[in-house]
């Protein structure tokens, strides 16, 4: 008798998914760092949008997060 139940395998290994979730978390952190800095009054100009956190730190964090996710996708789970 032949077993017709195909074995379902995930596309990535367990470590790949962990790294992928870390990368997504870093990307989310970068977007959170970018938020804010606006003014409640549209007639008042605020320099807060040009802070180091929003201009340098947040985009760098997002790019690092994208790098981590690309690494998680390309990592071979069968290699040690």
From CA 2, how far away is CA 21, in angstroms rounded?
A: 39
CB 68, CB 26: distance < 8 Å: yes
Asked whether residue 56 is domain-assigned, the answer is yes
Asked whether residue 4 is domain-assigned, the answer is no
Is the pLDDT reported for residue 64 higher than 90? yes
* Tally of CA atoms within 13 A in the half-sphere of 45 that contains its CB: 2
CB 60, CB 72: distance < 8 Å: no
Number of domains in the chain: 1
Asked whether residue 35 is domain-assigned, the answer is yes
The predicted-structure confidence for 6-28, as pLDDT tens digits, reads as follows 777 778 889 999 999 999 999 99
Asked whether residue 79 is domain-assigned, the answer is no
* Tally of CA atoms within 13 A in the half-sphere of 31 that contains its CB: 7
pTM strictly above 0.75: yes
The mean per-residue pLDDT over the stretch 38-58 comes to 85
């Amino acid at each position: 008798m032949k077993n017709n139940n195909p074995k379902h395998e995930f596309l990535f290994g367990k470590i790949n998914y962990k790294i992928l979730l870390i990368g997504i978390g870093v990307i989310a952190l970068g977007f959170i760092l970018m938020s804010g800095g606006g003014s409640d009054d549209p007639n008042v100009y605020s320099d807060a949008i040009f802070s180091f956190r929003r201009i340098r730190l947040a985009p760098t964090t997002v790019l690092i997060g994208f790098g981590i996710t690309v690494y998680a996708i390309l990592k071979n789970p069968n290699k040690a």
